Structure 1
Amino acid sequence: MNFSVDQLTSVEGWANLLIPYGLKLLGAIAIFVIGRWIAALLVKVFRKSLDRAKVDDTVTSFLGTVAYIVLMAFVVIAALGQLGVKTTAAAAIIGGMALALGLSLQGQISAVAAGVLLIFFRPFKKGDFVQAAGQYGTVEHVSLVNTLLVTTNNQEITIPNNQVWNSAITNFSARDTRRMDLTVSISLAADVDRAKAVLQEIADGDERTLSEPAPAILVNAITDSSVDILFRPWFPRVEFWGAYWDIVERIKKRFDEEGIDFAHQRRFIELRGGGEDKAA
């Protein structure tokens, strides 16, 4: 539409120029606002359906985020179309912006890719106690970018997902049972058979100890100052740490009562004279 100089200098001319574009702008804003509301509503319904299907919280969060991003991309393109921007051009612009953003955020994209792998392969889930990227903690949340762990002293550790995925992951909550691995070192003069019998009594006397697999009590090594006995009872995972602390204390008390000496570290000191031999 062409306007003369007189039209551009008159109020009516400006009104004829601005009103059509103002209406388009209002329409674009309305499309964006309403579209965002509809997208949020659809994602909410989608999340609830996943919850009813008892899908893991981590997967639900990830799929909900992806769905919202896709829906909002359509909303933005529709709003730009209302302004007169061709949708093909808008898609090209968005694609170019995504490419530029991707090049500048390669590290973050790597974390996102690792987050997708963590979410779908699920080496752990929310509530599991794990060791990941050298850190210990309970999994609180896994997002597209990072994993949040809560330590036993209630501190939060945020780890980028690419560091988690590229490291060895130990999931202490994956199995229902755990084995306690203790090495009890007694003196060379102590009665090995009695020490093994006392350890068996301690295992049998704790109701948390599993009978299957049976506790392993084996002489593992004899050094110059000790006899090392492996003590390996099994426990339900949820009972492990309570049993661990109780049993360590019981071993100390029972061995003292039975007169079984623990090994003591021995040090040998060699003394050399400082004088020189003299020839006769």
Structure 2
Amino acid sequence: MDQINQWFSNNQDMAADWAINIVIAIAIFVVGRIIAKSVGTYTAKGFAKNNVDAAVASFISNIVYALILAATVLVALGQLGIETTSFVAILGAAGLAVGLALKDSLSNFASGVLIIMLRPFKAGDYVEAGGVAGSVQKIEVFSTTLKTPDNKVVIVPNASITGGSITNFSREETRRIDLVIGVSYDADLKQTKQVLIEQIEAQPLVLKEPAYTVAVSELGDSSVNFVVRPWVKTSDFWKVKFALVENIKIALDDAGINIPYPQMDVHIKKED
């Protein structure tokens, strides 16, 4: 005990400095932890206000909290005179290793955050993305669930969706139906056009505005091709398209206008 007292007596200044540094380090840690919690909480609330998925908001807020807390610990250790360069190097190496091991998962996660933030589609939309067409069922952190028209459930990685083009068929309220109707070269074009117009106007679900288009688009190899382009509400697209195709075929048959099979004329020249 006498030796301890003697040591303190001889090293009072150093002990005082150590005590002050320990108090400051503890204060830094406590304040930094409070700041980390506050920032994490505000981050989660900010995502919630923007209707971001709760899982994504929680994950990101936890990452923010962990980063601020790690920085606080390093500052506190530096206040105690502990060399933190080696700690930073170890953390960097560990982060790199984890990142390489989970690069696919992290890519899907980042893509999921982008989908939720940018909202190229929402649940219920019919889209074509990642090589799959279907109705969006769920948008999750790592994947998006689509249901195809034939009732298949397809889980698509988010990275595959953001890595390619996304076609959203439900975003706009109206869609245009594009039909190509080929008729014989012997057909009366004015009569054919009138028959096509009558079938469009007979459909109550076809919109008046924008106006429909019926016109000769090209002189094909075996037919004269008309384009038929009416506008409908997006929800009525398939109903009207199927009805038009059927009714146009019946009307053309009734009018005696032929839809020719693909054909080729072969001319044989006889040499003397």
SS of the residue 2:117 aligns to? helix
Residue in structure 2 matched with residue 139 of structure 1 by the alignment: 136
Quick one: which of 177, 190, 195 aligns to 1:193?
190
Structure 2 Cα separation of the partners of residues 176 and 145 of structure 1? 29
Deviations 1:261-280 (A, max 9, x none): 1122113457799xxx9xxx
User: Distance between the aligned counterparts of 1:63 and 1:72, measured in 2?
Assistant: 14
The residue type equivalent to 1:117 in the other structure is L
**Alpha-carbon deviations, 1:68-96, whole Å to 9, x = none?**
6767999xxxxxxxxxxxxx9x9999887
- For residues 205 and 125 of structure 1, what CA distance do their matches in structure 2 show? 34
- Name the aligned partner's letter for residue 216 of structure 2: V
2:53 and 2:134 map into 1 onto residues whose CA distance is 20
After superposition, what is the alpha-carbon deviation per residue over 1:36-95, rounded to whole angstroms, capped at 9, x for unaligned? xxxxxxx9xx79x94xx6x55x64453244446767999xxxxxxxxxxxxx9x999988
Aligned residues of 2:55 and 2:141 also touching (Cα < 8 A): no
Alignment correspondent of 2:172: 175
The answer on whether the counterparts of 1:187 and 1:264 sit within 8 Å (CA) in structure 2 is no
Whether 1:115 and 2:130 are equivalent positions in the alignment is: no
Q: Determine the C-alpha separation between the residues in 1 that align with 2:228 and 2:202.
A: 15
Output the CA distance in 1 between the equivalents of 2:265 and 2:172. 46
Partner residue of 2:56 out of 62, 68, 73: 62
1:149 alignment partner, SS class: strand
Measure the CA separation in 2 of the matches of 1:119 and 1:96.
31
Residues 168-205 of structure 1 deviation map (CA, whole Å, 9 limit, x = unaligned) = 11000010000000000000001111111111111111
1:264 paired with 2:261, answer yes
Partner of 2:226: 229
Write the letter of the residue equivalent to 1:172.
F
- Residue in 2 that maps onto 1:240: 237
Letter in 2 for 1:101: V
CA–CA separation in structure 1 for the residues paired with 2:247 and 2:114: 45
What corresponds to 1:150 in structure 2?
147
Deviation at 1:158, TM superposition (A): 1.4
Where 1:266 maps in the other structure, the secondary structure is coil
| Within-5 A mapping of 1:87-98 | 98=95
Equivalent pairs, count: 218
SS of the equivalent of 1:109 reads: helix
The residue identity in structure 1 corresponding to 2:105 is: Q
> Is the partner of 1:235 in helix, strand or coil?
strand
What SS is found at the alignment partner of 1:212? Answer: coil
The answer for the alignment partner of 2:203 in structure 1 is: 206
Q: Is the 8 A contact 2:222 2:264 kept in 1?
A: no
Deviation at 1:223, TM superposition (A): 2.3
Q: Could you tell me which amino acid in structure 1 is paired with residue 143 of structure 2? A: N
Q: TM-score, normalised by structure 1?
A: 0.66
1:239 partner amino acid: D
Q: Structure 1's 226 and 156: CA in aligned 2 closer, same or farther, altered over 3 A?
A: same
Q: 2 CA distance for matches of 1:112 and 1:235?
A: 37
Out of 64, 76, 97, which is 1:100 matched to?
A: 97
How far, CA to CA, are the matches of 1:65 and 1:115 in structure 2? 12
3-state secondary structure, aligned to 1:252: helix
Q: Work out the CA distance in 2 between the residues paired with 1:161 and 1:71.
A: 25
Amino acid at match of 1:109: L
Contact 1:138 1:151 in 2 (8 A): yes
Q: Which amino acid aligns with 2:136?
A: V
Q: Is the 8 A contact 1:178 1:235 kept in 2?
A: yes
- How many angstroms apart in 2 are the aligned matches of 1:185 and 1:192? 11
